């Protein structure tokens, strides 16, 4: 009977057949230990010379690292390790004997590993990380459908940019320049006028000439947009979504988290505790007063600035929970955000970034949108954006404008945080970076 490794626990004492690859091979006299994997999990297949035919023994002995084979045997419980199962082999059918495998004989640097990403993806860490990515993806799909959202796939090739034009990739669209999407948000805002609540989940592109562990040139972004939602309701949806994703990973990805040696204390805590809310000004004050960052002067710029990487990490460390930073100064935020003047006379955006603890940094950015046609148009003109390119977008405020909000969640940053891996390139099958378009 064919059996996946993940299902071995239900077949102890039975003879089963697995199909997969030998990720390691050790032999010790009259025993060959085949470390096998089949995509669903990992197991040890034990071939004892006295118990098998000469043909089977020879077949087992031929297997090299990453050879493919069909292996039959009896499932047994590991004598010492709880929850571990092995195969006492009765038959081995090699499919293809692999050449000497380039990965694994010694420690490799990231350049080597990502030059061979097609092979590196088979290693345990990528296997675990990308399975967690898959689970996060599924959680997002389930969450939005349970909440009554409609998937609204916005275009990748766009005639203009949503915001910053310096980070755009240009594409030759039948001899006219087009741009790869940085965000589908403006399109999603048109979508809610038909569907009420929509989400969009696809690749977006950032031509960022930075080589940090936080940036990819091609990444997956989930954008949600909701009619008749103010910023408080918006943050509530975000908190429920993040809790749901983490809860699902904790429940379904125990083996993956173990492989990653992820301490899940904070993940388990945040599923049940309310997230922290701080105003931007308050966060800046706390960072200064508690000396959480390395800084000598706190001039006007400090109070008006975006949160730096160091500041985000410091706030995550302080609260050990996700933190909403609310009401940034309007001038450093996008043109479409709703504005208000705070008690101190500062023009602020009705927005929040959600900072993940444990160096997760910003994983979500959201805001209530400006719903006034006049105010939005003025902002576009003031910023010297090409008004004619935004005419269709302004229609959302001309024909039945409604209060609405939305947010974007970066999939790779979220997965990096949940997995506890260092570099965001680990969280996507074939990363695209400043210096990497291959394989």
Residue 300 or residue 388: which is nearer to a copy of itself going by CB?
Answer: 388
Which one among 33, 42, 143, 152 touches a copy of itself, defined by CB under 8 A?
152
Residue 402 near a copy of itself by CB under 8 A: yes
Q: Does 104 bind a copy of itself (CB under 8 A)?
A: no
Two tokens, residue 43 = 């197991």
Strand partners, 86: 44, 76
Backbone CA torsion sign across 362, 275, 202, 197: negative
Is 399 a binding residue for a copy of itself by CB under 8 A? The answer is yes
DSSP code of 187?
A: H
Q: Which region, judged by CB under 8 A, interacts with a copy of itself, from 106-114, 169-177, 258-266, 416-424?
A: 169-177
Q: Does 169 bind a copy of itself (CB under 8 A)?
A: yes
Residues 52 to 71: which contact a copy of itself by CB under 8 A?
66-68
Q: How far is the CB of 160 from a copy of itself (least distance, A)?
A: 9
Binding flag, residue 232, a copy of itself (CB under 8 A) = no
Q: Is 126 a binder of a copy of itself (CB under 8 A)?
A: yes
Q: Where are the beta strands (DSSP E) in 51-174?
A: 67-77, 85-96, 150-151, 157-158, 170-173
Q: Identify which range of 53-61, 72-80, 113-121, 357-365 contacts a copy of itself by CB under 8 A.
A: 113-121
CB 103 within 8 A of CB 119: yes
Any alpha helices (H) in 71-123, and if so which ranges?
110-115, 117-120
Query: Which residue's CB is nearer to a copy of itself, number 280 or number 404?
Result: 404
Smaller CB separation from a copy of itself, 99 or 310: 99
Q: Which residue, chain included where needed, has tokens 């949108």?
A: 369
What number of residues does the chain have? 439
Of residues 293-312, those binding a copy of itself (CB under 8 A): none
Confirm or reject binding of residue 93 to a copy of itself (CB under 8 A): no
| Contact (Cβ atoms closer than 8 angstroms) between residue 63 and residue 22 | yes
With respect to a copy of itself, which residue has the nearer C-beta, 130 or 307?
130
131 binds a copy of itself (CB under 8 A): yes
Alpha carbon dihedral 425, 429, 434, 436, in 10-degree steps, equals 120
Residue 245 tokens, joined: 């994703």
Nearest-5° angle of CA 431, CA 433, CA 439?
A: 50
Residues 363, 222: Cα–Cα separation, whole Å: 11
Q: What tokens were used for 196?
A: 């009420």
Interaction residues for a copy of itself, span 26-55 (CB under 8 A): 38-40
Among 26, 240, 398, 422, contact with a copy of itself (rule: CB under 8 A): 398
Measured from the CB atom, the residue of 65 and 246 that comes closer to a copy of itself is 65
What distance in Å separates the CA atoms of residue 382 and residue 334, rounded to the nearest whole number? Answer: 12
């Amino acid at each position: 009977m064919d059996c996946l490794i993940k299902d071995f626990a239900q077949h102890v004492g039975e003879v089963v057949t697995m199909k997969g690859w030998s990720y390691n091979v050790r032999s010790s006299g009259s025993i060959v230990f085949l470390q096998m994997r089949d995509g669903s999990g990992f197991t040890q297949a034990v071939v004892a010379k006295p118990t098998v035919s000469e043909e089977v023994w020879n077949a087992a002995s031929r297997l090299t690292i990453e050879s493919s084979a069909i292996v039959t045997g009896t499932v047994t419980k590991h004598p010492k390790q709880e929850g571990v199962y092995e195969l006492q082999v009765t038959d081995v059918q090699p499919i293809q004997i692999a050449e000497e495998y380039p990965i694994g004989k010694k420690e490799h640097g990231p350049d080597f590993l990502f030059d061979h990403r097609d092979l590196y993806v088979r290693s345990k860490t990528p296997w675990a990380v990308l399975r967690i990515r898959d689970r996060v993806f599924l959680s997002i799909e389930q969450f939005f459908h349970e909440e009554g959202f409609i998937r609204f796939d916005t275009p990748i090739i766009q005639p203009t940019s949503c915001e910053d034009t310096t980070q755009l990739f240009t594409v030759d669209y039948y001899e006219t320049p087009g741009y790869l999407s940085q965000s589908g948000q403006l399109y999603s805002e048109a979508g809610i006028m038909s569907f009420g609540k929509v989400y969009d989940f696809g690749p977006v592109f950032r031509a960022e000439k930075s080589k940090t562990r936080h940036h990819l040139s091609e990444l997956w972004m989930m954008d949600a947009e909701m009619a008749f939602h103010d910023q408080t309701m918006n943050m509530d949806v975000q908190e429920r979504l993040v809790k749901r994703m983490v809860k699902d990973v904790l429940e379904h990805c125990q083996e993956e988290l173990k492989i990653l040696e992820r301490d899940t204390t904070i993940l388990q805590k945040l599923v049940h505790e309310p997230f922290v809310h701080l105003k931007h000004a308050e966060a800046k004050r706390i960072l200064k007063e508690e000396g959480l960052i390395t800084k000598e002067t706190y001039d006007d710029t400090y109070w008006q600035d975006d949160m730096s990487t160091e500041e985000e990490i410091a706030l995550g460390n302080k609260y050990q929970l996700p933190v909403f930073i609310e009401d940034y100064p309007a001038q450093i935020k996008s043109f479409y955000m709703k504005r208000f003047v705070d008690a101190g006379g500062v023009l602020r955006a009705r927005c929040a970034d959600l900072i993940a603890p444990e160096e997760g940094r910003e994983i979500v950015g959201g805001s209530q949108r400006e719903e006034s046609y006049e105010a939005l148009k003025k902002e576009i003109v003031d910023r010297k954006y090409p008004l004619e390119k935004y005419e269709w977008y302004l229609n959302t405020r001309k024909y039945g404008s409604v209060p609405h909000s939305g947010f974007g969640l970066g999939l790779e940053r979220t997965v990096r945080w949940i997995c506890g891996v260092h570099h965001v390139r680990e969280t996507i099958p074939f990363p695209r970076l400043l210096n990497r378009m291959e394989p």
